[in-house]
Structure 1
Amino acid sequence: MRRPLAAALLLGLAALGSARAEAPARRSAAELMDVLMWNREPVGGPFALIDQDGRPRTDADFRGRLVILTFGYTACPDVCPTDLMEISRALTLLGKAGEEIQPVFVTLDPARDTPALLAEFVPSFHPRLIGLTGSEAAIRQAADAYKVFYRREDGQDTIEHSAFVYLMDRSGAYLGFFPPGTSAERMLTIIRPHLGAR
């Protein structure tokens, strides 16, 4: 009787190990960049997060406006603040027409980037910038939808992440992306044809 029980346990453990081994691996930064560059898969999708005022927010809240959306984290030393400054500059250069665009920043570090911290962070770039956070699972779902690569190295405070700026239309459909370091002027050459278009 002991042998069948031991065999069953071994089979159960083998199946568990096999299930873990079959869990889909996260795609590399290069693979995700390839998806974006060649438009191989849909980009964007539903999300349910929390803004800097603690209010629940979904992608549907931004319907009717163009959306410039980027992922990062408040302690990012270089890329995130640079891109947020360029987004802000683009909105300033547009003047009144910039009100058709909603800028959105989604943190990849929800454990540290609380709504209170985002409330201090986002206004330093633009008064209409919305910062979003949420559970690790909710952030991962949003990042996966937008084909964002990110990971925290063990024992490190920094997060390695892709840094694309996404442009979404008034229905939430993906229009394209700007690579990191894109100037406000370059952004405007892509954005302007979509302004006023309904």
Structure 2
Amino acid sequence: MNRHAMTYRKSRFARIPFALAACLALSMPLAACQQQQTEQPPLEGAAIGGPFTLVNKNGKTVTWAQFKGEWRIVYFGYTFCPDACPLDVQAMMRGFNLFTKAHPDLAAKVQPIFISIDPARDTPEVVGEWTGAFGPRLMGLTGTPKQVNKAADAFAVYHKRGADTAGGYLMDHSRISYLMDPDGKPIAMLPTDKGPDAVAAELAKWVQ
């Protein structure tokens, strides 16, 4: 997704944005000032995210409202996924770990979350064991089909039972790692397809 930068029309000095004027006053590089002033989150204003009620590995209720004040990384998948989910979550969490090493204070404000779209097989125990393989910071959530569908719909996540195989049925689903701000608003999609370094860089770009 391309990021659109806002431009400012200026009439002499009267219309110079305050932040840009401050940069000029401090003799900061103009290019840096423009980037700081104009860049906006690529998912700003998107209808992504919303209230849900699910359960964690211990069977305790977890709501979206409980994460108020925290940055969140949200990925929807399923534990029986043969390839896509493990690869995505591995890149996501390795990137998060790199970000943690570089910015421990900021990383402490971020909660990575895995939400199952296969509640028939992904019990709380199964989800807890699967997410535990990627580190203690990753929270795994599941629920009833109705609860899972509500969460997936809130995040515009496509999911549907797919083909039957010898090892069990597959699930077709979106492959997106959302970065949400402390108010639960969408900020960006983490580039898990580009590897951990790219994920860490994207986190460093937005998490404050």
TM-score for the superposition, normalised by structure 1? 0.74
The aligned counterpart of 1:185 is 197
Structure 1 residue 189: Cα displacement: 2.3
**Conserved 8 A contact 2:76-2:116:** yes
Match of residue 143, structure 1, among 148, 152, 155: 152
The aligned counterpart of 2:97 is 92
Partners of 2:191 and 2:203 in 1: CA distance: 14
Match of residue 171, structure 1, among 183, 193, 199: 183
**Conserved 8 A contact 1:89-1:184:** yes
Q: Within 5 Å, give how 1:67-146 maps onto structure 2.
A: 67-94=72-99, 95=101, 96=104, 97-146=106-155
Structure 1 residue 188: Cα displacement: 2.2
**Conserved 8 A contact 2:57-2:140:** yes
Partners of 2:76 and 2:85 in 1: CA distance: 8
Paired residue type of 1:98 = A
Structure 1 residue 190: Cα displacement: 2.0
Partners of 2:80 and 2:185 in 1: CA distance: 30
Aligned identity (percent) is 35
When residues 39 and 62 of structure 1 are mapped into structure 2, their CA distance, relative to the original with a 3 A threshold, is closer
Partners of 1:103 and 1:77 in 2: CA distance: 21
**Conserved 8 A contact 2:74-2:178:** yes
- Where 2:108 maps in the other structure, the secondary structure is helix
Q: Report the number of matched residues.
A: 160
Q: Which moved more, 1:160-169 or 1:174-183?
A: 174-183
The aligned counterpart of 1:51 is 56
Paired residue type of 2:174 = S
- Where 1:52 maps in the other structure, the secondary structure is coil
More helix as a share of residues = 1
Paired residue type of 1:59 = W
**Conserved 8 A contact 2:71-2:110:** yes
Deviations 1:43-64 (A, max 9, x none): 1100000011111001111122
Structure 2: unaligned runs, 5 residues or longer: 1-41
The aligned counterpart of 1:153 is 162
Paired residue type of 2:117 = L
Which of structure 1's runs of 4+ aligned residues deviate more than 4 A? 37-41
Cα RMSD for the two superposed structures:
2.0
Paired residue type of 2:162 = E
Deviations 1:150-197 (A, max 9, x none): 1103645100111111000011111121355242211222211333x3
Paired residue type of 2:134 = F
When residues 149 and 40 of structure 1 are mapped into structure 2, their CA distance, relative to the original with a 3 A threshold, is farther
TM-score for the superposition, normalised by structure 2? 0.71
**Conserved 8 A contact 1:104-1:131:** yes
When residues 170 and 38 of structure 1 are mapped into structure 2, their CA distance, relative to the original with a 3 A threshold, is closer
- Where 2:130 maps in the other structure, the secondary structure is helix
